[in-house]
Amino acid sequence: MKPAEFAEQKIIFSILEEIFPINSNLPPERELAVIIGVTRPTLREALQRLARDGWIDIHQGKSTRVRDFLKEGNLNVLSTLSNYQQFLPDDFVINLLQVRLLLSPTYTFLAIQNNPNFFIDFLTNHPKPDDNSYVFSEYDFKLHILLTQYSRNPVFTLILNGFRDLIIEKSKMYFNFEETRLHSLTFYRSLLQAAIDNNPNEAMLIANKVMSDSMNFYSSFSEHQRNDNDTRFHISY
C-alpha cells in the first residue's frame, strides 16, 4: 500500500471511529502527519483525495472540516463504506435495496429489450435448488451486472460495482435461507420466459416484484436476528 493510501485509510477509519467526529476540524497538517506517521507532502496528497471523495472540506487559510459524509459525500464515500461494514447504520442495507428497487426495473427492461438472446443463454444456466448461498450470491450479482451492462447505460454498472463487496457479502447471508433461494429461482425462470417472449415490459414488472420481495425478506430476517440477539442478551443477563 502506498503511503498516501495508508494515510487516507487511517483518516477515514478515524472519522468513522469518531476520533475525528463529523463537523469537527482535523489537527493542523504538521500535527496530523506526526500522528499518522507520514510526511507532510504524503498527507497533503491523502487530504486532497479525501476532499475529492467528500470526506473533508479544505479551504485555504482555514481548518480542514470533517464533512457529514452521509449528507455531503458522493458515490466514492458509499463505495468506501462498503469496506467498513462494521460502521454502517442499521438501515443502510435496506436503503441500498430501496435504491436497487428503483434502478433494477429500468436496467432490466433495457437489457431484455436490447439483447434478449444473451439472457436466454445466461438464465438457462441458473443455480440449482441445492446450490449453496455462495453460488447464488455470485450468480445473482453477475446477472444484475450483466443487466446493467446490456442496458447500455454505464452509470447503472458503476453504481452497482461500487457496492460489489457489500452486496455479495449480504447476499450470502440472504441466500442462507431455502425460502430466498427458491424465490430467486422463480425470478430467474420468470425472467428467462420474458426474454424468450422478447417482452421487456414483463421483465420490468418481474424485476420490480423480486426487488420489493427481497426488501421484505431482508427486513424480516433482520428483525428476527435483532429479536434473537435481544433474547440472548436477556438470557445471559
Query: For residue range 201-218, what is the model confidence (pLDDT) as tens digits?
Result: 999 999 999 999 988 888
Whether residue 104 is contained in a domain is answered as: yes
pLDDT at position 90 = 73
Query: Looking at the predicted structure, is the pLDDT value of residue 234 above 60?
Result: no
Instruction: Identify whether residues 101 and 176 lie together within a single domain.
Output: yes
pLDDT at position 66 = 96
pLDDT at position 88 = 80
Query: Looking at the predicted structure, is the pLDDT value of residue 126 above 70?
Result: yes
Whether residue 170 is contained in a domain is answered as: yes
Instruction: Identify whether residues 119 and 167 lie together within a single domain.
Output: yes
SS (H, E, C) the chain: CCHHHHHHHHHHHHHHCCCCCCCCECCCHHHHHHHHCCCHHHHHHHHHHHHHHCCEECCCCCCCEECCHHHHCCHHHHHHHCCCHHHCCCCHHHHHHHHHHHHHHHHHHHHHHHCHHHHHHHHHCCCCCCCCHHHHHHHHHHHHHHHHHHCCCHHHHHHHHHCHHHHHHHHHHHCCCHHHHHHHHHHHHHHHHHHHCCCHHHHHHHHHHHHHHHHHHHHHHHHHHHHHHHHHHHHHC
pLDDT at position 74 = 83
- Our count of domains for the chain comes to 2
Instruction: Identify whether residues 151 and 219 lie together within a single domain.
Output: yes
Would the pTM count as exceeding 0.85? no
Instruction: Identify whether residues 156 and 189 lie together within a single domain.
Output: yes
Domain span holding position 27: 3-73
**Least confident interval from 82-86, 114-118, 151-155:** 82-86
For the stretch 14-48, pLDDT in tens is 999 999 999 999 999 999 999 999 999 999 999 99
Which domain CATH number covers 25?
1.10.10.10
